[in-house]
Structure 1
Amino acid sequence: MKLTAAVRGRHYQFRDLKEVMAKANEEKSGDRLAGLSAEDAAERVAAKMVLAELRLSDIRESSLLPAETDEVSRIIESDLDEEMYARIKNWTVAELREQLLQMEGGGGSNSLIRVGQGLTSEMIAACAKLMSNLDLIQAASRMEVVTTCNYSMGQRGVIAGRAQPNHPADHLHGIRASLYEALAYGIGDAVIGINPVIDTADSVYNILSMTKDVMTRWEVPTQNCVLAHITTQLRAIRMGAPADMVFQSLAGTELGNKAFGITAALLDEADEVIRQEGTSTGPNRWYFETGQGSELSSEAHHGIDQLTLEARCYGLARHYKPFMVNTVVGFIGPEYLYDSKQVIRAGLEDHFMGKLHGLPMGVDVCYTNHMKVDQNDMDNLAVLLAAAGVNFLIGVPMADDCMLNYQSTSYHDIATLRETLGLRPAPAFERWLEGMELMKNGRLTARAGDPKIFV
């Protein structure tokens, strides 16, 4: 495995694959904080040159985190489609990039997603490091990932919205009022998903019951979820809470997941519980969230760069065949993604990598108030992701989450993206909107946006 390159007369020698992967990454403040990033653009180009010429088999044979010591690595290895891998293992990373940009999407034998099943997460990350933003958009736009919980989403030409009607005190009337506004704007087809302030089984039970009551009363074709810790959700479900799916944040290493209070065994247990005791028809009953930098936060990165670790999150997620996955791209803060350029790049990387894993990928287009980002930057990223075929975005009132204290996209932002780019809600949800006289011929009516219609 050649680990040397020359740029402008300077010779670069890299220690191992881990260093090549880290230094080939686009500039990220998290990699610099961890001491992993390239010194300058020339070293970054040298690392990309080395990475481009490596074969996929080189990456598999030079494990960044051995399966003997990490259960995420074991899951990624065990889920690999060996037949597909055997067909492509001699491709270089540069050839993989070229193939992905030339292939068509869909379900044929040469589809991008079919190839993705023969790639480890590290191979997918390596490819992303060689791609421009436009490459990431073009390749992702060809990948259609349709999943079904109670209802289906992910169809080509569809962009769904998660209604996130959080409340700073988990007040049920406040959550319901915000939810009505979301529905009035045509948002909520992905999920009605609430982040609770109070992580108790009783609180989760009450929120799930209230959202299910709204869904039943108004015959809303969607699914519900409360984003508490998985152990809290399991207690609520065993109490009889009407949960359509379960949620958990993921890290890309076993040690990182332990910091989240989870193991593969716990995820397996939750998978069994939601299948036996959940209220959805399935088959997809999981919601996962990720975000570049979480492993560094818990000192669980093992010297691996944040983009590669993010890809490993998706390798873990695909094991459970989720209904929805999203990166909370700018939520962790400037320590990991410093400014709008880095946030936009990470959002496009994450979406592409998730889709190539075969995941129903969404993005929380978001930032915290101490980052060098503003709402116009988020508008730009949202448009780019919509062009890339993102499955869903997050909708919060006025793009300002008063409970989590960060900025995201609003209900009307998602509605505007649909109207501007000719995109639609999930099919069953659109039919419901038409029945409620909130939408006609793919456009919101004059009645839309008024939550009083539900009162």
Structure 2
Amino acid sequence: MTARFKRQQGTKIYHFSSLADLMAKATPERSGDQLAGVAASSAEERIVAQMTLADLPLSTFLNEVVIPYEMDEITRLIIDSHDKLAFAPISHLTVGDFRNWLLSDVVTPSTLASIRHGLTPEMVAAVSKIMRNQDLILVAQKCHVKSAFRNTIGLPGRLSTRLQPNHPTDSENGIAATIFDGLMYGNGDAVIGINPATDNVPQAVRLLKLMDDVINHYEIPTQSCVLTHVTNTIEAIELGAPVDLVFQSIGGTQGTNDTFGVNLSILQEAFDAAQSLKRGTVGNNAMYFETGQGTALSADAFHGVDQQTCEARAYAVARKFNPLLVNTVVGFIGPEYLFDGKQIIRAGLEDHFCAKLLGLPMGCDICYTNHAYADQNDMDNLLTLLGTAGCSFIMGIPGSDDIMLNYQTTSFHDALYARKVLGLKPAPEFEQWLTKMQIFDSVDEVRLSNSNRSPLVHSLAHLG
């Protein structure tokens, strides 16, 4: 135990046994950390931990790690890839000073872009723990992160969507109908992405060909993805399948990724394979990663580190491979990790802030399971807050209900609501296509066309 990890409050002295312990105790209340046994025992201990963390120099995170360098390849990635020159302008700051600096008017989007590679996940996780929700929104809104494949994601004033046409039997007609439904509401510019009900290589190839046929036939400036295991996608590429994006769920510890059946070497192989295809037209960011608080705990691979810090560490993995898309599936695991709407909202804002500050094109699956203490009003709140914060993309699913994965998320209508209320638009290339196809009116606002002349409307009649 070192002196910087203890603090006297009145007549009581609080001790924090390690940097990981201090970070965990400073984390806003959530059920996952309580389940893991790392949370503060009281509100007072949490505040004391936050005060202690605020006084900690940022340089501490370069000299002390939360998971040992020798036993975790993500720790090695974080330390070995740190950019000392990018860190130099803020190297003298404490965590509290860093918060104040981020919130100041002198810090612009270009300033934040210049320090990205000087930040470690633990630094951004630490500062998020002493920030209010409005702080997380304000700073994230200043983080502009652009990525591109067949369209451009993340430009200011834009909100993209993943069109998620999941089907419990992978019915081609059912999937096609959902794709058309989503497109008619202006969804699908981030990706048309399917979670396959039957997860194997032949099925992935079949679904990839289905989406590729639709995209090519209607000349849609978007990209497709089957959210299968990365090794299946590598095999599909070897078979000549029309792969746009390579997907993988990732976590923030080596042990977590072991349970996913991946490591940095496998992800590098997938990255190289995707790059070799050169299927992008306006860019070649070809990776898609999903994350979520609680994955390290559910894998029993959290090493005493709180779930939000583990989540931020996953962003180091994503950043290495220059993805087109990253999103946190924020409430998917359940109330054991994020108990209610309040905790889900806070986690979504934290994840978005941390990822954007590290330079990722971050989106959010704004969701909850049916046994969580949350409802669609909570999701409306988080959607509105993330839209204000500059979230890159959200999910679009018919009626907000994923009938294959059995959880509640955001609908095609929800995306339209957020764009209307917040004055946001789809990706520019996709917006032009929506206008050309008479789905959106050719006016300077998001508005569905009143016309039924769109070629997509007539295509529905040909579905079996």
- For this structure pair, what is the TM-score category when the shorter chain's length is used for normalisation? over 0.9
Which residue of 1 is the match for residue 167 of structure 2? 167
Going from structure 1 to structure 2, the CA distance change for 1:238 and 1:103 (only over 3 Å counts) comes to farther
Separation in 1 of the partners of 2:174 and 2:211? 12
Task: Confirm or deny: 8 A CA contact 1:106 1:144 kept in the other structure.
Answer: no
Which residue of 2 is the match for residue 70 of structure 1? 72
Once the two structures are superposed, residues 263-303 of structure 1 have per-residue CA deviations (whole angstroms, 9 ceiling, x without a partner) of: 11100110111111363343211000000000000100011
Separation in 1 of the partners of 2:351 and 2:131? 12
SS in 1 for 2:394: strand
Going from structure 1 to structure 2, the CA distance change for 1:453 and 1:143 (only over 3 Å counts) comes to farther
Separation in 1 of the partners of 2:105 and 2:297? 35
Aligned: 1:87 with 2:100: no
Separation in 1 of the partners of 2:107 and 2:179? 35
Separation in 2 of the partners of 1:250 and 1:449? 43
Letter aligned with residue 151 of structure 1: N
Task: Confirm or deny: 8 A CA contact 2:62 2:79 kept in the other structure.
Answer: no
Letter aligned with residue 363 of structure 1: C
SS in 1 for 2:118: coil
Which residue of 2 is the match for residue 452 of structure 1? 457
Which residue of 2 is the match for residue 215 of structure 1? 215
**Root-mean-square deviation over aligned CA pairs:** 1.5
Letter aligned with residue 321 of structure 1: N
Going from structure 1 to structure 2, the CA distance change for 1:438 and 1:316 (only over 3 Å counts) comes to same
Task: Confirm or deny: 8 A CA contact 1:233 1:246 kept in the other structure.
Answer: yes
Letter aligned with residue 6 of structure 2: T
Separation in 2 of the partners of 1:3 and 1:135? 25
Unaligned runs of 5+ in 1: none
Which residue of 1 is the match for residue 139 of structure 2? 139
Going from structure 1 to structure 2, the CA distance change for 1:212 and 1:319 (only over 3 Å counts) comes to same
Separation in 2 of the partners of 1:265 and 1:11? 45
- Residues 13-412 of structure 1 mapped to structure 2, 5 A cutoff: 13-103=15-105, 108=110, 111-277=111-277, 279-281=279-281, 282-412=283-413
Once the two structures are superposed, residues 71-121 of structure 1 have per-residue CA deviations (whole angstroms, 9 ceiling, x without a partner) of: 11111122221102233222100011111111566663xx12322321111
Task: Confirm or deny: 8 A CA contact 1:31 1:305 kept in the other structure.
Answer: yes
Task: Confirm or deny: 8 A CA contact 2:278 2:284 kept in the other structure.
Answer: no
Going from structure 1 to structure 2, the CA distance change for 1:103 and 1:63 (only over 3 Å counts) comes to farther
Letter aligned with residue 304 of structure 2: G
Letter aligned with residue 292 of structure 2: G
SS in 2 for 1:232: helix
Structure 1 position 330, deviation (Å): 0.1
Separation in 1 of the partners of 2:219 and 2:349? 35
Task: Confirm or deny: 8 A CA contact 1:369 1:406 kept in the other structure.
Answer: yes
Separation in 1 of the partners of 2:322 and 2:451? 37
Q: Percent identity?
A: 47
Which residue of 1 is the match for residue 418 of structure 2? 417
Separation in 1 of the partners of 2:453 and 2:391? 23
Once the two structures are superposed, residues 284-330 of structure 1 have per-residue CA deviations (whole angstroms, 9 ceiling, x without a partner) of: 11000000000000100011000100000001110101001000000
Task: Confirm or deny: 8 A CA contact 2:109 2:143 kept in the other structure.
Answer: no
Task: Confirm or deny: 8 A CA contact 2:286 2:323 kept in the other structure.
Answer: yes
Structure 1 position 372, deviation (Å): 0.1
Among candidates 12, 17, 38, match of residue 14 of structure 2 = 12
Structure 1 position 445, deviation (Å): 1.7
Separation in 2 of the partners of 1:298 and 1:304? 13
Separation in 2 of the partners of 1:396 and 1:92? 43
Task: Confirm or deny: 8 A CA contact 1:56 1:91 kept in the other structure.
Answer: yes
SS in 2 for 1:444: coil
Letter aligned with residue 136 of structure 2: L
Going from structure 1 to structure 2, the CA distance change for 1:449 and 1:56 (only over 3 Å counts) comes to farther
Going from structure 1 to structure 2, the CA distance change for 1:115 and 1:383 (only over 3 Å counts) comes to same
Separation in 2 of the partners of 1:419 and 1:236? 39
Separation in 2 of the partners of 1:26 and 1:337? 11
Once the two structures are superposed, residues 365-422 of structure 1 have per-residue CA deviations (whole angstroms, 9 ceiling, x without a partner) of: 0000000000010000000000000000000010000000000000011011101111
Letter aligned with residue 113 of structure 1: A
Which residue of 2 is the match for residue 428 of structure 1? 429
Structure 1 position 3, deviation (Å): 1.4
Structure 1 position 449, deviation (Å): 12
Task: Confirm or deny: 8 A CA contact 2:158 2:425 kept in the other structure.
Answer: yes
Deviating more after overlay: 318-327 vs 99-108? 99-108
Once the two structures are superposed, residues 143-193 of structure 1 have per-residue CA deviations (whole angstroms, 9 ceiling, x without a partner) of: 111101121111100000100000001111111110000000000000001
Unaligned runs of 5+ in 2: none
Structure 1 position 338, deviation (Å): 0.3
Task: Confirm or deny: 8 A CA contact 2:101 2:107 kept in the other structure.
Answer: no
Q: Size of the alignment, in residue pairs?
A: 453
